[in-house]
Amino acid sequence: MLTDPVNINFHCPPVDPLGKDHVIGKLRFLPDQVELSWRLKGNVFTGGKSEMISRTLPYGEIEHVELVKKWWKIRRLIFRVSDPKLLGDIPVAEMGKLEMEIDDRSREEARKLESLIDFKRSIFLLDAQEERLKAMRDS
């Protein structure tokens, strides 16, 4: 389970009734990093779909992942990163926080997410600690 990638399809609702800044995308939790791909859905302001943008995030940059349930079903994912610049070009992101509504087809995958993130972050923190100890011994 921990070696298989977890793929979450999501959308971030528009900021107004006309569909401005409606973001759709995919969040992929790979063995070494997280890949975030997104684009703006077409609306009356832009006319058509925008180009797909992809960004890779190391597990060390992920600060918090929270699954929000409603009526025993996972509905939303709150994703926070430590550096707000990583999500800065996504219009609905606020200070490194992105709230995503999970598509129906990704709800089962989302159940695996909490244990995967905890495991990957613990590996990152352990590696960082070992590097600091090695630097202290070498100096």
Stronger pLDDT, 54 or 45, i.e. the higher one = 54
The domain defined by 6-138 folds into PH-domain like (2.30.29)
From the list 77, 81, 57, the residue with the least C-alpha distance to 67 is 77
Cα separation, 132 vs 22, whole angstroms? 43
**Residue 1 pLDDT greater than 50, yes or no:** no
Three-state secondary structure call for residue 27: strand
pTM, entire model: 0.73
In angstroms, rounded to a whole number, what is the distance separating the alpha carbons of residues 87 and 123?
23
Q: Which of 59, 75, 82 is nearest to 111 (CA)?
A: 75
Split at pLDDT 50, 70, 90, the class of 36 is: very high
pLDDT (0 to 100) of residue 42: 66
Task: Give the residue with greater pLDDT, 35 vs 88.
Answer: 35
- Give 47-69 pLDDT, tens digit per residue: 666 788 899 988 888 888 888 88
What is the pLDDT at residue 43? 61
Over residues 36-57, mean pLDDT:
78
Determine the pLDDT at residue 44. Answer: 59
Give the C-alpha separation, 95 to 93, whole Å: 7
Sequence ranges of the domains in the chain: 6-138
Task: Give the three-class secondary structure for 36.
Answer: strand
Segment 108-131, tens digit of pLDDT: 887 777 777 777 777 877 888 898
